[in-house]
Structure 1
Amino acid sequence: MFQSFSETSSPDQGPPRLEALRAEMAQDGLDGFIIPRADAHQGEYVAERDSRLAWLTGFTGSAGFCVALADSAGVFIDSRYRVQVRAQVADVFTPVHWPEVTLEDWITRNAGARAVIGFDPWLHTVSQIRDLETRVGDVVLRRTENLVDRIWADQPPAPATPAFAQPVELTGETHEAKITRLAETLGAASCAVLTLPDSICWLLNIRGDDVPRTPFVHGFALLHAGGRVTFFVNPAKLAELGDHLGPQVRIEPVEAFLQALGAVTGPVQIDPASCPVIVADTLRAAGTPMIEAQDPCALPKACKTPAELEGARAAHLRDGAAMARFLCWLDQQPAGSLTEIDVVTRLEAERAATNALRDISFDTISGAGPNGAIVHYRVTDKTNRRVDAGLLLVDSGGQYLDGTTDITRTIAIGTVGQEERRAFTLVLKGMIAISRLRWPKGLAGRDMDALARVALWDNGLDYGHGTGHGVGSYLSVHEGPQRLARTGTVPFMPGMILSNEPGFYKEGAFGIRIENLIIVEEAPALPGQTVPEMYRFETLTHAPIDTRLIDTGLLTEAERDWLNTYHAGVLARISPLVESEVSTWLARACAPI
């Protein structure tokens, strides 16, 4: 079992830990200290050693930060976590609705003029601190060692799990070819600093287990214009790689990273959105010019090779069969006979039975009734709820060598009310709108996100998260730079994989989300088409959508046609992969409406 159900939050420990932190702040002459969720690699998942925000506050969400002052402490969370945070933090911490309340406004309002706020330069990016420094007025931001590490007596060691090679048959390109190709894009830079683990793992065709749910190897790298890489990493992690990395990759201990930066000659390219402040500080101290540009791996990694796309399709067929078995089993269980943990356990077992599952791609969200309204709900032994009549939201995914999956289905358990059916149908209309979309080359997520919300907006409803995120190829289930969201500015390009997941959440009652993964592809020309190039989406996910929850009177003919065609495809692809009992159930679940 990959997922555990232990309670990882300790609200009762928050007050004494905050007091200990404040003592360190006073000793260092600080009026405040910023504690981010992020580690030095800015990953969504962090190793236990780097879980400073959770250790201090009790909040375990995947995004957020805390600012501790002498007489107050704000925990900044976005709309996904506003229910969760209230259950996880003690009353010495005040939840702050971010980004509606900005960090700079909160600091200037609560810290006072000329306050000195400390931060760890390893854990904040160049852009974050530069923006903050321009907006906090007389407040002074001071680089300091990490004060949480000082008081965390039993802090776990840094991870040192063995790395392994990702076969070229699955990547579609050797790491030597990637290094040579990307080195040619550096222009005037002598090298580019790589700090994101997915970029480094993608570039070197390696994977690892340094953090849960994402097959990352932690380290830093320099991509040199001459077509080689210096990889700063714990050498013990590479013991099982053999000669995979080859002569183009030089290995140095991670402790040598800053010293090597200080010795670089010529301009150095950094990505201010992900590069730690300490990197820029080190280069500046050495007098080395910096060129700011996007991580050179970001776009090439996002645009999957034909081999990666074939792997994704295979992984989704395998995952679709596991989902069909799970949904068939779930449909046979009477209302009230299961708990949320029972649901998670069974679904993971179905994926594990494929004998191809390497990990789940995130902790499965199994939210019954009001727990479904907690967007990133994680069931524990303490919160485990019985699955009674109503809605059950299940958001899950698998990590397979050939692909990463992510699927959400909202399922009717017993009798469901008209309010829930209406809301489900409005969400479905938004998901179908994105699935059917054709658009001219050059558009980004911000140009499309509204289409998923129109039906909800027409009824005075909405959801507080983006409509979709990028997905990696046996890497992170949340991958940039593309996003199907108001904040998505990167134009969609063929080969990009995204999620399509509108939702609706009624706090204290129920939650709805429907999610498929989709691939950007070139659209065939239409008769009389005048737009030179148009794109569309190929749907990767193959699992029935619960038609018992649909108010068919709210669907247009085109929407019904799309759903019926989708279900016909699910039946044709998945039925041959499952047992007769599941195939019979699948035929009913995919019947036309």
Structure 2
Amino acid sequence: MTHYRPQSFEVKGGPQWGRDHLPLLRAKLAEAGLDGFLIPHEDEYNNEYLPDRAERLAWATGFTGSAGAAVVLKNKAAVFVDGRYTVQGRAQIDPELFSLEDLTGAGVAGWLADNAPSGGRIGYDPKLHSPDALDKLTRGARKAGAELVRVDTNPIDAAWENQPEPPMAPLVPHPVEFAGEDHASKRSRIGEAIAEDGADAAAITAPASLAWLFNLRGGDVMRSPLPLGAAIIHKDGTATLFVEPDKISDEVRSHLGNEVAIRPEDEFEAGLKDMTGKKVSADPATASAWVFDTLEAADATVVRRRDPVALPKAMKNETELKGAAAAHVRDGAALVRFLHWLDTEAQSGEVDEITAAQKLASLRDQIPELRDFSFDTISGYGANGALPHYRVSEASNLKLTPGSLYLVDSGGQYPDGTTDVTRTVPIGEPTAEMRERFTLVLKGHIALALARFPQGTTGGQLDILARLPLYLRGLDYGHGTGHGVGSFLGVHEGPQRIAKAGSDEPLQPGMICSNEPGYYKENEYGIRIENLIYVTDPEPIENGDIDMMGFENLTWAPIHKSLVDIHLLTPTEVAWLDDYHAGVREHVLPLVDGEVASWLIKACEPVSGSTP
């Protein structure tokens, strides 16, 4: 029962888009008296996955990655990407039109300081930039003697013929049986937090926060059940939801009740202006500069605070954790069927990356509760697997021929939970090096899974546990070790993060995180092992002085034992692997039968005492 658009494998973007569209954009800039324009990969809601209408960076440059930016001047232009997208950037932009620059470090602001014309007027859309980011860009432009100029009409929108219409998916109530708390209780809690901050109200613009706060889900964002809109919630818990009227049904009106007013989204500006004389909190990490400008122009006192919904949303309640566990078991059964297929039919050398992704999709689609994927499946063989955020296309599609590794990163959206899991599988016989590197990644995965830590510990403090086995061999990986995951919301959420540059947010009970160390050998193969885990309540340690938190596993799918060199594992690590596979068998075996069940039993046999 599909409820989603199938994953597309056609090549989108590319150099021709830049060749076709850059002249159109520059013509609009000339009409507006601008010498340049800033193009972030953002929409008005700070979404990770953008609606088609908001893919302005792709339209202007041809680059389709999920993170990036561009600056277009009269006689030069640049596209900025991070290390995940360097290869993709080279392939998709025309080097005669754009230079490819590093998004990290000095980034866009540094490039403006070196390249913006003295006296130049560089336009920006205030709805697409956070105030903090805009401050950095302003300082960069000033160093060159240029100024940033706010525009009310985005010149890309003016130049873009046949720009897609805004998404208009209907809102649907998210039942308390999945949410675990009604929205009146949530609004009351958030109102109390607003009052404690000394504010009268908070402006909420993050779609996931809207969805959680009002127990609503939508379909405006692909792969995430999110509604686009905004809200103002007051310290007494009453609120106004600004959303397109066509998205609202009588059922939703009844669900929201009398304490939530509903107004059209285009009245959000008027709602902000009604805050004259009030103290209003807004999050500079999620709300746009336009929100801050509008409040300040209305003589409201703006309190810069984190979105008051962000932390409560991240700390899953008992109902949400039970739902996540159930979703992972049913998702695990589909994944086990896929892993069996990879170990049998897909070893022929005739299967390709697209066929494999479609096979996994067809198996998940047999789950009645499936509502969508949680992201487009990463299906990478050999050299493509060495690209951590690879997206297979007809142009890049490789056959799974014997002699290398296949990496698959995928997930599903279910009403009771969101899944995200990565497994690496050998096609043919793995080399000794592949087995060594896989085992080092596994050691890091186990170290994080077994971690115990006191209250106040951040993800950044734990990240080294997953990297140390690789560090000792002079190896590393370029992405974070763990991200937060929503409850039938976005597959990536904060404020928690496990990474070298992790957030300052302490890990709290109920937070769901990924555990996904990896290793990538450029042009050869990639390895990643990813489970979802959640933070447990503090518990005493025998003979210890401090109660410690830890992680509980959610994901159940075999880790390919032929890639494990048990000589590199400690007894504790061997015990963890055997216990984990016993858990996989316990949870998933009742949901499969026949050859798949026989394969699963063998895949979950203990490695302790075995001879490699």
User: TM-score by structure 2 length?
Assistant: 0.95
Give the one of 224, 235, 238 matched to 2:245: 235
Residue type matched to 1:251 in 2? Answer: I
Matched residue, 2:391: 378
From 42, 55, 59, the counterpart of 1:55: 59
Partner of 2:474: 460
Q: Name the structure 2 match of 1:353.
A: 366
Contact 1:53 1:59 in 2 (8 A): yes
2:270 is the alignment partner of 1:262:
no
Contact kept in structure 2, 1:469 and 1:484, CA below 8 Å: yes
Is residue 81–residue 375 contact of structure 1 (8 Å, CA) maintained in 2? Answer: no
Alpha-carbon deviation of 1:51? Answer: 0.8
1:179 maps onto 2:187 in alignment: yes
Match of 1:193 among 200, 203, 217: 203
Say which SS state the counterpart of residue 186 (structure 1) adopts.
helix
1:307-337 superposed Cα distances (whole Å, 9 cap, x missing partner): 1000000000001111111111111122412
Structure 1 Cα separation of the partners of residues 401 and 410 of structure 2: 20
Bigger mean CA deviation after superposition, 65-74 or 253-262: 65-74
Q: Which amino acid aligns with 1:275?
A: A
Report what 1:288 is aligned to.
Answer: 300
The 5 A counterparts of 1:126-525 are: 126-136=131-141, 137=143, 138-144=145-151, 145-187=153-195, 188-239=198-249, 241-265=252-276, 266-333=278-345, 334-389=347-402, 390-485=404-499, 486-525=501-540
Task: Provide the secondary structure at the position in 1 that maps to 2:252.
Answer: coil
CA distance in 2, matches of 1:51, 1:241: 30
Tell me if the contact between 2:109 and 2:136 (Cα under 8 Å) persists in the aligned partners: no
Q: For residues 529-544 of structure 1, what are the structure 2 equivalents within 5 Å? A: 529-531=544-546, 533-544=547-558
Distance 1:403 1:37 in 2: 28
- Distance in 2 (CA, whole Å) between partners of 1:523 and 1:108 is 49
Q: Choose 455-464 or 249-258, whichever is displaced more.
A: 455-464
Q: Secondary structure at the match of 1:41?
A: coil
Q: Cα distance, 1:114 vs. partner?
A: 3.9
Question: For residues 305 and 222 of structure 2, what CA distance do their matches in structure 1 show?
Answer: 29
CA distance in 2, matches of 1:375, 1:100: 21
Where does the alignment leave 5 or more consecutive residues of structure 2 unmatched?
608-612
- CA drift of 1:26 comes to 2.7
In structure 1, the gaps of 5 or more residues are none
C-alpha distance after superposition, 1:157-204 (max 9, x if no partner):
111111111100110000111111110111221110000000001000
Q: Contact between 2:112 and 2:140, CA under 8 Å: does it hold in 1?
A: no
User: Partners of 1:243 and 1:330 in 2: how far apart?
Assistant: 48
Tell me how far 1:356 sits from its aligned partner: 1.2
How much is the aligned-residue C-alpha RMSD, in angstroms?
1.3
Give 2:563's aligned residue. 549
In the alignment, the residues of structure 2 paired with residue 276 and residue 402 of structure 1 have an alpha-carbon distance, to the nearest angstrom, of: 31
Counterpart residue number, 1:83: 87
Query: Secondary structure at the residue paired with 1:141?
Result: strand
Structure 1 residues 38-117: aligned runs within 5 Å: 38-91=42-95, 92-117=97-122
Amino acid at match of 2:57: L
In the alignment, the residues of structure 1 paired with residue 371 and residue 570 of structure 2 have an alpha-carbon distance, to the nearest angstrom, of 41
TM-score (norm 1): 0.98
1:7 aligns with 2:15: no
Deviation at 1:61, TM superposition (A): 1.3
Aligned residues: 592
Partner residue, 2:610:
none
How far apart, in 1, do the equivalents of 2:334 and 2:13 lie? 31
Report the Cα offset of residue 116 of structure 1.
2.5
Q: CA deviation at 1:511?
A: 1.0
Matched residue SS, 2:474: coil
Aligned partners of 1:276, 1:140: CA distance in 2, in Å?
A: 19
Task: Determine if contact 2:315/2:511 at 8 Å carries over to the other structure.
Answer: yes
| Maintained 8 Å contact 2:112/2:137 | no
Identical columns (%):
48
| 40-49 vs 234-243, which moves further | 234-243
**Secondary structure of the corresponding residue to residue 79 of structure 2:** strand
- For residues 468 and 16 of structure 2, what CA distance do their matches in structure 1 show? 43
